[in-house]
Amino acid sequence: MVSKVIFGRGCFNQLADILSPRRLNTKAPFIFFVDDVFKGNSWLTSRIPLSYDDKLVYVSTKEEPKTSQIDQLVEDIILTYKERPSGIIGIGGGSVLDIAKAVAIMLNNDGESKDYQGWDLVNTEAVYHVGIPTISGTGAEVSRTTILTGPERKLGINSDFTPFDQVLLDPELTKDVPKDQWFYTGMDCFVHCIESLNGTYLNAFSKSYGEKALELCKEIFIDNDCTDEESQDKLMMASWHGGMSIAYSQVGVAHAMSYGLSYLLGIKHGIGNCIVFDHLEDYYPEGVALFKVMKKKHNITLPQCICANLSDEEFDIMIDVALSLEPLWENAIGKQWKKIITKEKLKALYLKM
Ligand code: NAD
Ligand code: ZN
């Protein structure tokens, strides 16, 4: 679990107070990874407390984080500074938060980041790391994974050393998120709730968080029609609770298939989940019905026929990526999932997208 968290509009201003006791010495910098959407945005960047050798690194989110990108960032830091950094701070959406987590881990663990994709492969504690979300939904701020696309697969580094040491939740930072992206990333949270609450791994811990997150999602996306301040606050908490819910259970069919789309076609997580979930009425009938109501209410048009021109080999790649995520299928379907989920079934589903 994340050991320290603060919440509130404007709490971003407390960042300097939070970081200063953590500075190891003047030669051990804080490295800030910031979504490049904030380049030139002095409202945010002027409040990032840089001193001594601290560095601000803008990160593009055009593509989702890759293992090669993490290895390069880590090498740059090691070559530039004599000392290990005092801390790594990620300011952005799920992509930037995951980059901060992965870099913090790899600064203290030998080898390449692809070697740690999987469950509980990290041996040494990460460098102190702080997460500051600027868009709500992924739950990356609270989860024990950092999802990376490697040479062979898209898979998280899931470990006890992955979660942030400190999270700063300031809903004001989400005020300029574009409407479509607000929906896609918000639906990531909704899908987390549905997959967790309908999974075989469900337990009282996950259920209590999942139910709260789902209730908040319904208030935000169905009862309300806006992205006003109250909705921003609520979505930030929904994301947190949705993340907590899957931390102690698992995601399911939509995520497994969306990873396939992402690996082969580079389709991003939020929109990818929406594209898949739209066709999962056989697996999550109530959730999909609700999703369609929200999609209509917010005038969202999803891309169609994205798999229309794929070759058999390409389908195989997507299906293999999806099927390799065994815990997700076991959670969704049960221990006997291999008898129920076939390659043909997944191909038929992908063909609908
Ligand atoms: P993202 O980080 O790519 O951000 C989406 C878009 O919103 C980007 O274009 C970004 O520049 C923009 N944006 C962010 N904050 C903004 C702001 N305040 N104002 C204007 N624009 C803003 O996408 P995401 O949906 O947040 O995250 C997706 C990533 O998170 C994927 O890589 C996915 O694998 C990962 N993920 C991780 C976890 C986890 O537990 N670690 C969970 C779910 C998803
Ligand atoms: Zn997700």
pLDDT, one tens digit per residue, over 26-42 is: 999 999 999 999 999 99
Tokens representing 323 are 């099927």
Determine contact, residues 179/16, Cβ cutoff 8 Å. no
Across 147-156, 189-198, 232-241, least confident range:
147-156
pLDDT at residue 225 in the model:
63
pLDDT at residue 153 in the model:
82
Q: Is this complex scored with an ipTM above 0.95?
A: yes
Q: How confident is the model at residue 251 (pLDDT cuts 50, 70, 90)?
A: very high
pLDDT at residue 184 in the model:
98
Pocket of ligand 1 (CB under 6 A): 35, 37, 61, 64-65, 92-96, 98, 134-135, 138-140, 143, 145-147, 173-174, 176-177, 181, 185, 188, 268-270
Sign of CA pseudo-dihedral 6, 11, 14, 15: positive
Average pLDDT over residues 276-281: 98
Residues forming beta bridges with residue 172, ordered by sequence position: none
Neighbours of ion ligand 2 (CB under 5 A): 188
Delineate the domains of the chain, giving CATH numbers in brackets: 4-174 (3.40.50.1970), 179-352 (1.20.1090.10)
Q: How confident is the model at residue 337 (pLDDT cuts 50, 70, 90)?
A: very high
Q: Which atom of ligand 1 is nearest to the CA of 188?
A: 43
CA of 99 to the centre of ligand 1 (A): 11
Rg, the chain, Cα only: 20
In the predicted structure, residue 226 carries a pLDDT above the cut 80: no
Measure the CA–CA gap between 34 and 121, rounded to whole angstroms. Answer: 27
Q: How confident is the model at residue 12 (pLDDT cuts 50, 70, 90)?
A: very high
Mapped onto helix, strand or coil, the DSSP state of residue 317 is helix
pLDDT tens digits, residue range 55-88?
A: 999 999 999 999 999 999 999 999 999 999 999 9
Quote the mean pLDDT of the chain.
96
In the predicted structure, residue 168 carries a pLDDT above the cut 80: yes
Residue nearest to atom 33 of ligand 1 (CA): 269
Q: Which atom of ligand 1 is nearest to the CA of 270?
A: 25
Across 225-229, 240-244, 280-284, 290-294, least confident range:
225-229
Q: Which atom of ligand 1 is nearest to the CA of 243?
A: 40
From 33, 34, 37, the mutation candidate for ligand 1 (largest count of ligand atoms within 8 A of CB) is: 37
Average pLDDT over residues 101-106: 98
Q: Which atom of ligand 1 is nearest to the CA of 147?
A: 34
pLDDT at residue 224 in the model:
76
Measure the CA–CA gap between 280 and 268, rounded to whole angstroms. Answer: 18
Burial-class residue 57 by CB neighbours within 10 Å (0-12, 13-18, 19+): middle
pLDDT tens digits, residue range 252-269?
A: 999 999 999 999 999 999
In the predicted structure, residue 152 carries a pLDDT above the cut 90: no
Q: What percent of the chain has pLDDT over 90?
A: 96
Q: How confident is the model at residue 52 (pLDDT cuts 50, 70, 90)?
A: very high
Q: How confident is the model at residue 303 (pLDDT cuts 50, 70, 90)?
A: very high
Determine contact, residues 249/331, Cβ cutoff 8 Å. yes
Angle between helices 179-197 and 269-277 (to 10 degrees): 60
Q: How confident is the model at residue 302 (pLDDT cuts 50, 70, 90)?
A: very high
